[in-house]
Chains A and B, each alone.
Chain A
Amino acid sequence: MSGGKSIRIVDSTLRDGSHAVSHQFDAEQIAAVAGGLDAAGVEYIEVAHGDGLGGASCNFGWSKLTDDEMLRAAAPVIRKGKLTVLLLPGIGTKKDLEMAAGLGVKAVRVAIHVTEADIGQQHIGLAKKMGMEAFGFLMMSHMVPPEKVVEQARLFESYGADVVYVADSAGAMLPDDVKARVGAVVEAVNIPVGFHAHNNMTLAVANSLAAAQVGAGFLDGTCRGLGAGAGNAQTEVLAGVLDKLGYRTGIDFFGIMDVAEGIVEPMMHRPQVINNAALMLGYAGVYSSFLLHTYRSAEKFGLDPRKILVELGKRRMVGGQEDMIIDVAYRMLQAKG
């Protein structure tokens, strides 16, 4: 067994989690959560609009605060941990990354659809030049076979990434899918490998363990599982489970439970459960961030959100194509006559 091995945790309550509150975290909430996570021993604390730097938009939803304001709220309360951001090339820019570096951000996750890593070469390069840790983050990894994930992970490594992530953005993978992809990447690269789970089929923690078993050194979580779709691996649960298995995370188990229950839970707009549409995301392999946008369109046009999601899955839409929810809904409405 892997007893005594250490796993490094990235908590994304204040980034992926912001999807679940429609990006409405305020400065006080950000400071409270970031400070709590830091005190509980979380190493990487990710803060940004749910769709990363520059994500505030009509397409992805407007955040209450600007990127700058969010980072300014978190930076002063993080003492041991590393303030981390996410950036999707094509949405966020190098200018956004420079702004983040100026505010004390120590790590960036450059998140790209699993087949397109080369659009992030410049962003990884800039992060390294500015002295940041750079993670390559391969989204929607379920859509391609392990060999393709390996090819793209190697690209990130060649650009100078310090860590490469396999992300199950649609919460569509089963544990064997995770093992096949994460395991192949671990074999192929000389940098640590991470895994980012979504809980659309209630497998987020199980999949995270599967990733750890085949050599992942980084795992993602969010307090109370807050996140896009049915949310992410629940940080406090992950901390407890990993501890039981003998992995060291540096996280104080009681401390992180207190952050989740005492600080994060009161901020939640709704319980983070697997409702039918979220389950459909996982089943059909659709980007988890589409969930709330799909609900809005379904309600507006009087359509079944599951049908919209199935169609988006059939069209093989990728992260960032939230606009196609409107397109699909419009077409369904026309077909209804």
Chain B
Amino acid sequence: MERVSVAIIGPGNIGTDLMYKVLRSPRLRMDVMAGIEESEGIRRARDLGIRTTLGDLRPILEDGSIRLVFDATGAKYHLRHAPLLRAAGKIVIDLTPAAVGPYVVPSVNLGELCGEPNLNMVTCGGQATVPIVHAIHRVAVARYAEMVSAISSKSAGPGTRQNIDEFTRTTARAICKVGGARKGKAIIVLNPADPPIIMTNTVYVDVEIPDEAAIRDSVERMVREVQAYVPGYRLRVPPMVDGTRVTTIIEVEGAGDFLPKYSGNLDIITAASVAVAEKLADKLLVKGVTQ
């Protein structure tokens, strides 16, 4: 089967987990891992026989065979990388909060965004809850949606901790922009329990049409669609309707590729990113044949 070459910028936990997922993909070829300096992630990539580059993106920018680039660094770095990657004609999947391009949640709006040169992966909580908001909105009309994500302290890295407002702001925006709710709110809680809790997400939606059967059916269909790319995505409490309020609880267990299973919050964003890349790869391969 033909594959599309990809590069990953940022060999941290997220970048490394992505690398393992790319290696498993029948559609993608893991070509370059880029870092700023020697690190465990760079060594791990090198040991797997993957090309690496330090402090220099040229091996990616100048290699025409690399079509897709994941950026798993940080917002301020992505703002620097984005114009360079764009000028080099790369399609970028941005896992940072920079949001240079539109938000993408594969089960909801990937189809509309396949022509975009830069796609932003929102947040882990956004990937977990926007599908539910959208599933409810499409049958019941969401006036307001709110999500509460609880993640284990161990799975919250320094990036999340030092800018926790970014999570709430970005997720709330995606609940509206992608999920369709008129208003949105996001809350995040870190829980230090040991053994670590797996990620749970509660979604409250205030709806115009509180048809429980239609809502349940729509949510169940959506859960199956997300499960296609995040196998550990599960309905914990199915939609319960109380007046006009619908409450749904989702849990996300990680695949354990590189990160431990409890960190479903990290797994869902890397899994969703690879789902985006595979879809784009399909398009590129079709184009390649017709050109």
- Residues on A facing B (Cβ under 8 Å): 57-59, 89-91, 93-95, 113, 115-116, 118-119, 121-122, 300, 315-324, 326-327, 330
Contact = CB atoms under 8 A, between A and B. Distances in A.
A319 B192 CA distance: 12
Contacts of A116: 153, 161, 190, 192
B190 A119 contact: yes
Interface stretch (B31-39, B96-104, B162-170): B162-170
Contacts of B191: 113, 316-318, 321
A316 B167 CA distance: 24
B189 A318 contact: yes
20 contacts: A57-B185, A57-B204, A58-B206, A59-B146, A89-B164, A90-B189, A90-B190, A115-B153, A115-B192, A118-B158, A122-B162, A315-B197, A318-B189, A318-B191, A319-B189, A320-B187, A321-B148, A323-B249, A326-B240, A330-B237
Contacts of A113: 189-192
A316 B164 contact: no
Dominant SS at the B interface?
Answer: strand
B200 interface: yes
A118 B161 contact: yes
Contacts of A330: 237, 240, 249
A316 B192 CA distance: 9
Contact of A90 (B146, B162, B188): B188
Contacts of A316: 191, 193
Interface residues of B, number: 34
B237 A327 contact: yes
Given A59-B202, A327-B236, A330-B237, A90 B161 contact: no
Given A59-B148, A113-B192, A330-B237, A122 B165 contact: yes
Nearest to B189: A320
A58 B193 CA distance: 25
Contacts of A90: 164, 167-168, 187-190
A199 to B, nearest CB: 25
Nearest to B166: A93
Contacts of A323: 148, 150, 200, 202, 247, 249
Interface in B143-178: 146, 148, 150, 153, 156, 158, 161-165, 167-169
A326 to B, nearest CB: 6
Interface centre among B148, B158, B167, B202 (most CB of A within 10 A): B148
